[in-house]
């Protein structure tokens, strides 16, 4: 998803994945699939409830694109 939306760099993708696993935003299923964790789903629901779209990948991609200008 990160590559598709232009989020991060090739060098940071693995670091991002490890970070979200360590923070329990996601878990592993069958040792090869990332699945949303309770904390991750709670954060997304909370952002949505507050009207914030920080959980939407297109917003993050736009933010990073703007920072590169």
Per-residue pLDDT of the chain (69 residues; tens, 9 = 90+): 556 656 666 666 678 889 989 999 999 999 889 999 999 999 888 888 887 776 666 776 776 777 765
- Residue 50 falls inside a structural domain: yes
Angstrom distance (rounded) from CA 35 to CA 26: 5
- Residue 19 falls inside a structural domain: yes
pLDDT of residue 39: 93
Angstrom distance (rounded) from CA 37 to CA 1: 17
Domain around 44: 10-68
- pTM of the predicted protein model: 0.56
- Residue 2 falls inside a structural domain: no
- Residue 61 falls inside a structural domain: yes
pLDDT of residue 8: 61
- 64, 3 in Cβ contact below 8 A? no
- 60, 7 in Cβ contact below 8 A? yes
């Amino acid at each position: 998803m990160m590559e598709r939306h232009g989020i991060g760099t090739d060098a940071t993708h693995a670091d991002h994945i490890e970070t979200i696993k360590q923070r329990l935003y996601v878990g592993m299923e069958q040792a090869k699939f990332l699945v949303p964790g309770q904390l991750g789903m709670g954060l997304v629901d909370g952002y949505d409830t507050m009207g914030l779209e920080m959980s939407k990948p297109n917003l993050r991609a736009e933010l990073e694109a703007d920072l590169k200008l």
